[in-house]
């Protein structure tokens, strides 16, 4: 039974956000994963602005920090799955329904690979408890199974930063055509599905 840690990169409800990426890191143990983030933070110069931030994020750190953290991920027993969604100029409304649809497609990749999921840790995307509960119900209905789902932010648990960096590097590959960071964890990628929001909505019907 495995843990799945999930985060996304890209903005909902923004037609200019051409690509949204969801990434999942799958592992049988969470032990020591938080140390990857702590070690990356220690390498930040104390005069750097990001050194004082409450959390470490892909969009707010320099290339050396990104490289160090992603290389550290590759040294762990982790499988990576990503869902790359091209918006094609369409706004994806930031709702529990749409978020659950995207995460269920991502988790479907994990399940199809033969991995049994025991625990999902996902970035606390929604502010209200009611929204998170609705998301949980929709996700379990979509996957037709009971799941233990935990919503955390990276200030509470540093491991949430790990899929943020993977998703950020993957999105950078498709937005800026920069592959250097994504290439660092290429060997850990089990499945990367590329699709469009229009196709996903059509499949849902």
Please calculate the CA angle 177-179-181 and round it to the nearest 5 degrees. 130
Pairwise pLDDT comparison (130 vs 156), residue with the higher score: 130
* pLDDT digits 0-9 by tens, 89-145: 888 999 999 999 999 999 999 999 999 999 999 999 998 999 999 999 999 998 888
Tell me the helix, strand and coil percentages in the chain, rounded to 5: 45, 20, 30
Given a cut of 70, whether residue 159 has pLDDT beyond it is yes
Read off the pLDDT of residues 31-64 as tens digits, 9 standing for 90 and up. 999 889 888 877 666 555 454 555 788 988 889 8
Q: Which of 25-29, 50-54, 72-76, 129-133 has the lowest mean pLDDT?
A: 50-54
Mean residue pLDDT across the chain: 90
Question: Which band of pLDDT confidence, cut at 50, 70 and 90, is reported for residue 15?
Answer: confident
What local confidence, expressed as pLDDT, does residue 10 receive?
93
Domains and CATH numbers, the chain: 2-204 (3.30.420.10)
| Phi–psi pair at 149, nearest 5 degrees | -115, 125
More confident residue, 128 or 202: 128
In this structure, how many other beta carbons lie within 10 angstroms of the beta carbon of residue 35? 12
Backbone Cα Rg of the chain = 16
């Amino acid at each position: 039974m495995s843990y799945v840690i999930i985060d996304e990169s890209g903005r909902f409800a923004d037609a200019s956000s051409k690509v949204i990426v969801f990434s999942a890191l799958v592992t049988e143990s969470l032990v020591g994963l938080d140390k990857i983030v702590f070690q990356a933070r220690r390498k930040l110069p104390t005069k750097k602005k990001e050194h004082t931030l409450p959390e470490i994020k892909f969009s707010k750190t320099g290339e050396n920090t990104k490289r160090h953290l992603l290389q550290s991920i590759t040294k762990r027993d982790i499988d990576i799955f990503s869902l790359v969604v091209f918006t094609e100029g369409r706004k994806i409304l930031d709702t529990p329904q749409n978020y659950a649809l995207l995460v269920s497609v991502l988790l479907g990749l994990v399940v199809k690979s033969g991995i049994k999921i025991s625990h999902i840790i996902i970035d606390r995307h929604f502010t209200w408890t009611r929204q998170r509960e609705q998301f949980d119900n929709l996700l379990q209905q979509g996957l037709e199974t009971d799941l233990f789902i935990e919503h955390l932010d990276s200030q509470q648990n540093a491991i949430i930063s790990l899929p943020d960096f993977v998703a950020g590097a993957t999105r950078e590959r498709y937005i800026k055509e920069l592959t250097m960071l994504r290439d660092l964890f290429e060997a850990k990628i089990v499945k990367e599905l590329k699709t469009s929001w229009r196709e996903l909505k059509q499949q849902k019907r």
